C-alpha cells in the first residue's frame, strides 16, 4: 500500500471528523432550543419522538435499525416519552406498533421542525444548488453502501 493509500485514509478520516463536527453543531442547536423552551426532554428523546411518529407502523426492531440505535435504547426512550405524555403506543397486527403523538407531543414536534427549519435555512445560505445536489448524491451513495 503506497502513499496514495495513506493519503486516501487521511482524507477519509478528515471526512469522518467533519461529519462528526457537523452533527455536533446540529445537536448544539437542538440543545439550545431545549433550554430556550425549557423542555423536560433530552435532545435524543426529542429526535426519537419525531422519528417515531414519522416512521410509525414499524416494528421496534425496524425503527431502531432505521435510527441506527439499539432496540433497548429505543424502547427505554419510548417508555420515557409515554411517561411524559408525549406519545401513545398501540400494538397493531404482528409486532408492529402505532406511535401517535399526544397534543403535547405535537407541540414538541412543531418546535423541533422550527429548529430544523432554522438549520436548513442556514445551510441553504452556505451551499450552492450544485453543492447541495452533489452532497445529496454522495450522501445517498454512502448510505446505500455502508
Write the pLDDT tens digit of every residue in 131-144. 999 999 999 998 88
Q: Has domain 41-145 been given CATH number 1.25.40.10?
A: no
Write the pLDDT tens digit of every residue in 52-66. 888 887 888 888 888
pTM of the predicted structure, to 2 decimals: 0.82
Cα gap 28→30, rounded to integer Å: 5
User: Could you say which DSSP state residue 59 is in?
Assistant: B
Residue partners of 82: CB distance under 8 A and separation at least 6 = 88, 89
Side-chain-side CA neighbours of residue 36 (13 Å): 11
Write the pLDDT tens digit of every residue in 27-55. 999 999 999 999 999 998 999 999 988 88
Residue 44: exposed, middle, or buried by beta-carbon count in 10 A (0-12, 13-18, 19+)? middle
Amino acid at each position: 500500500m503506497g502513499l496514495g493509500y495513506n493519503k486516501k485514509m487521511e482524507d477519509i478520516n478528515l471526512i469522518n471528523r467533519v461529519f462528526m463536527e457537523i452533527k455536533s453543531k446540529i445537536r448544539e442547536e437542538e440543545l439550545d432550543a431545549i433550554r430556550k423552551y425549557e423542555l423536560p426532554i433530552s435532545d435524543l428523546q426529542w429526535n426519537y419522538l419525531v422519528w417515531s411518529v414519522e416512521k410509525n407502523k414499524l416494528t421496534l426492531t425496524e425503527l431502531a435499525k432505521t435510527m441506527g440505535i439499539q432496540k433497548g435504547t429505543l424502547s427505554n426512550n419510548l417508555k420515557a416519552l409515554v411517561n411524559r405524555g408525549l406519545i401513545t403506543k398501540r400494538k397493531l397486527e404482528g409486532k408492529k406498533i402505532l406511535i401517535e403523538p399526544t397534543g403535547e407531543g405535537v407541540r414538541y414536534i412543531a418546535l423541533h421542525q422550527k429548529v430544523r427549519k432554522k438549520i436548513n435555512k442556514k445551510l441553504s445560505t452556505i451551499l450552492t444548488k450544485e453543492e447541495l445536489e452533489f452532497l445529496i448524491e454522495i450522501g445517498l451513495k454512502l448510505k446505500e453502501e455502508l
